[in-house]
Amino acid sequence: MGEENRGQAYTLEAVIAALLIISSLVFALQVTAVTPLSASTSNQHIENQQRASADGVLAAAQESGALKDAILYWNDSESRFHNTSTFDYYTNVYPQTEFGNITDRAFGGRGLAVNVELYTEGQNSAQRLIYRGEPSDNAVTASRQVTLYDDDTLTAPGHEGTNVSAADSYSKAVPERDGSNVYNVVRVEVTVWRM
C-alpha cells in the first residue's frame, strides 16, 4: 500500500510541475510585447535594405547630376523650391525633377516615409527639401555631399540661367560662403522609415 501512495505522489508532483511550467510560459508570453517594430533580426534586415536603397538613390542621383539639379530647383521670385505649396519644401509630392522621380520609384507606394534635408556651413538648422514628418526610432539615413559653384545656375522653370551667387533669395536655402568660387558644400541627407 505504501508503494501505491508513492506512485500517486510522483504523478501528482509531475502534474503540478507541468502546470507550473505551462503557466510560467503563458505569463512570460503575455508580459512580452512583440510588435512589428520590435527589434529582431528580420527588422534589422529591413532597416539594412532601406539604408541600402537610400544610399543607392543618392548614388544614382549624384552620378546622373539629378541630385545637384534638385538642390538648384529653386523659384527665386517666390523664395522657395519650385511648385511647393505653403512651405518652402515638398510635403505630399516629390519634386518634379529626376531626383524626385528616382526617390518616388524607390520609396513611393511601399509604406515608407522619406525626408530629404540639406545641411551646409553657415546654417543653424537643415533646409528641408522633402519633409514627411518626424522619423520613427527605426529610421535609417544616408547622405552625400554636393559642391555648388558660384556659376551654377538654378534649374526651376523660368529661372534657368540665374547664377546661384546672383539669385536674390537662394541664400535662404543655401547660404553663400565667402572667399572662393565654391558657393557652398551641401550635405544631402535622406532619412527613410516605415510608417
> Per-residue DSSP letters for 82-138?
TT--SSSSBSSS--SSHHHHHHHHHHTTTTEEEEEEEEETT-SSPEEEE--S---TT
Q: Cα torsion at 151, 89, 126, 124 (round to 10°)?
A: 90
Contact 50, 112 (CB under 8 A): yes
Residue 2's pLDDT band (cuts 50, 70, 90): low
130-163: per-residue pLDDT in tens? 999 999 888 999 999 999 999 999 999 999 989 9
171: three-class secondary structure by DSSP: helix
Mean pLDDT of 166-192: 91
What pLDDT does residue 104 have? 94
CA angle 187, 124, 72 (to 5 degrees): 40
Question: Model pTM?
Answer: 0.76
Q: Read off the pLDDT of residues 121-136 as tens digits, 9 standing for 90 and up.
A: 878 889 999 999 999 8
| pLDDT above 90 (res 167) | yes
Output b/e per residue, 161-172; b: 16+ Cβ within 10 A.
Answer: ebebeebeebee
For the packed helices 98-107 and 41-64, what is the interaxial angle rounded to 10 degrees? 160
State residue 30's pLDDT score: 78
Report the mean per-residue pLDDT for the chain.
88
What does the block give as the cell for 14? 509531475
Place of cell 547664377: 163
Q: What confidence tens digit (pLDDT) does each residue in 11-47 have? A: 889 899 999 999 988 888 777 665 655 555 557 778 8
